[in-house]
Amino acid sequence: MNFKFTSIASAMTGLLLATTALAQTELTVYTAVEAEDLERYAAKFNEVNPDITINWVRDSTGVVTAKLLAERDNPQADVVWGLAATSLLLLKSEGMLEPYAPAGVDKLDSKFVDKDTPPAWVGMDAWVASVCYNTIEGEKLGLKAPTSWKDLTDPMYEGHVIMPNPNSSGTGFLDVSSWLQMFGEEDGWNYMDALHTNIARYTHSGSAPCKLAASGEIPIGISFAFRGAKSKAEGAPIDIIVPTEGVGWDMEATAIVAGTDSLEAAQKLVDFSVTKEAMEMYNVGYAVVAMPGVAQPVEYFPEGLLDAMIDNDFEFAANNRARILEEWQSRYDGKSDAK
């Protein structure tokens, strides 16, 4: 009896000790990375840092951004891993990010790192605008494949182009912001005026235009390269076109939320997020990653995409976002029902 009690007691003590020894740091990580990738990312991270547990909170870019902004005075997240850089800039301008230069940040392409020292965020990978062109429908309608953004304003394409609404889609916004940056403010709006006459409609989501092009619903969809490659791999009769003027892009990036209780663990996560292993991990879905020379070509990705990426001014995009969207809405959203 007595023996039994002691053995239980000692077992309990052992258990207690064991839990203390294995004390896990828990990190609440907000992300917009595809759900199917999260497990893979966490597993890779835990190979290096087994003592840190990641609790994911995942949603679409817009929702995660809104959530973070709503929690401004009482942040729940420790780290943001995999959110659009334009969104992180919004958070930065609210003073919500803890600047930190992770070990090995100098190995990244400087395009992918915040300009401040220490940087408020570091990039992971990029998603790049592209045009999906359905060859079968194009031929049926007697169209010529476009090669540049300017081509798309040709009257021949009237009603045959579809693009995402920048007010609801991040991809739509990066298109608009890239046109304004490439063509200049005035010519940019002139370009969109001309393009608007050819647009069949504006979709809510950024991947829809390419999927609609893939299904032949509309021959030309302004979307992003990754989506196009995926549709092509599924057997859709599409070409992915990289317009010659250059293409807009945004990146997924990582940042520490200011005021986190587990700063050390958060820094470890950001350190990991810029390692070569992490970059190879991102490369599975993304053709362009932040560390030069790592990326392996992804199947069906168009060539010359990296060179076509414009020198994106994220600050311009973030600080003028509200103004651009308002202007866009008054020009094209109100007018569109007249059709």
Partner 1 sequence: MTDTSPTQMPAGPVIKGKLSRDDVLMRGGMIVIALYLIVTLVMPLYVMFSKSLSTYTFQLSQYEFQVSDEDGTFDGTILNAADLNAQVQAYEPSDLNAGSDGRLAVTPLFPEFSFRSPVRYQLRNTVADGRFLVGSTLTEGTEWVELDSNTFRRVQLRPVQARGIDNFVNYFSTPALSNSIKNSLMIAVFSTIVTVALAFGFAYALNRTCMRFKGAFRLIAMMPILVPSLLPGIALVYLFGNQGMLKELLFGASIYGPIGIVVGSVFFTFPHAFLIISTALAISDARLYEAATTLRASPWRTFWTVTIPGARYGLISAAFVVFNLVITDFGLPKVIGGQFNVLAVDIYKQVIGQQNFEMGAVVSVVLVVPAIFAFAIDRLVQSKQVASLSARSVPYQPSPNKNVDRAFFGYCTLIAVFIVGILAVCQFAALIKFWPYDLSLSLKNYQFNKMDGGGWTAYYNSIKLGLLTAVIGTAVVFFGAYLVEKSGGFKTGRAIFQMFAMLPMAIPGMVLGLAYIFFFNNPDNPLNGIYGTMAILVICTVTHFYTVSHLTAVTALKQMDGEFESVSASLKQPTMKLFTRVTVPVCMPSILDISIYLFVNAMTTVSAVVFLYSPTTALASIAVLNMDDAGDIAPAAAMGMMIFYTNAGARIIHMILSRGVLKRTQAWRAR
Count of other CB atoms within 10 angstroms of residue 63: 11
339 near partner 1, judged by CB under 8 A? yes
Binding flag, residue 135, partner 1 (CB under 8 A): no
**201 scored as a contact of partner 1 (CB under 8 A):** yes
Does 325 bind partner 1 (CB under 8 A)? Our answer is yes
The residue range among 6-14, 187-195, 245-253, 319-327 that interacts with partner 1, by the rule CB under 8 A, is 319-327
Name the residue nearer to partner 1 (CB basis): 144 or 204.
Answer: 204
Show the tokens assigned to 93: 């301008």
In the region spanning residues 206 to 225, those forming contacts with partner 1, defined by CB under 8 A, are: 207-212, 214-218
Amino acid at 143: L
Minimum distance from residue 48 beta carbon to partner 1 (Å) = 26
Contact (CB, 8 A) for 273 and 290 = no
What is the amino acid identity at position 289? Answer: V
Three-class secondary structure of residue 145 per DSSP: coil
Q: Tell me the residue length of the chain.
A: 339
**43/136 with CB nearer partner 1:** 136
Q: Identify the three-state secondary structure at position 67.
A: helix
- Lay out the site mask for partner 1 across 246-285 (x = CB under 8 A, - = otherwise): ----------------------------------------
Q: Is 147 in the site for partner 1 (CB under 8 A)?
A: no
Nearer to partner 1, 19 or 197 (CB): 197
- Pull the structure tokens for residue 65: 């951004």
Look at residues 306, 308, 273 and name the one whose alpha carbon lies nearest to residue 287.
306
Strands 161-164, 97-98: pairing kind = unpaired
Q: For residues 165 and 122, give the distance between their C-alpha atoms in angstroms, rounded to a whole number.
A: 27
The nearer residue to partner 1, 10 or 76, going by C-beta atoms, is 76
Q: Which stretch binds partner 1 (CB under 8 A): 20-28, 165-173, 242-250, 283-291?
A: 165-173
Nearer to partner 1, 270 or 318 (CB): 318
Give the Å distances, CA to CA, from 42 to 38, 45, 258: 6, 5, 22
Residues in contact with partner 1, shown as a per-residue x/- string from 78 to 107 under the rule CB under 8 A: -----------xx-xxxx------------
Q: Is 234 in the site for partner 1 (CB under 8 A)?
A: yes
Report the distance separating Cα 311 and Cα 319, nearest Å.
17
Which residue, 47, 89, 50, is CA-closest to 68? 89
Residue 237 binds to partner 1 (criterion: CB under 8 A): yes
Note whether 66 binds partner 1 by CB under 8 A: yes
Q: Which residues pair with 122 in a beta bridge?
A: 113, 254
Q: Binding of partner 1 at residue 53 (CB under 8 A)?
A: no
Q: Is 334 exposed, middle or buried (0-12, 13-18, 19+ CB in 10 A)?
A: exposed
Contacts with partner 1 by CB under 8 A lie at 35, 57-59, 62-63, 65-66, 69-71, 74, 89-90, 92-95, 115-116, 120, 136, 165, 167-169, 200-205, 207-212, 214-218, 234-237, 315, 318-323, 325, 329-330, 333-334, 336-337, 339
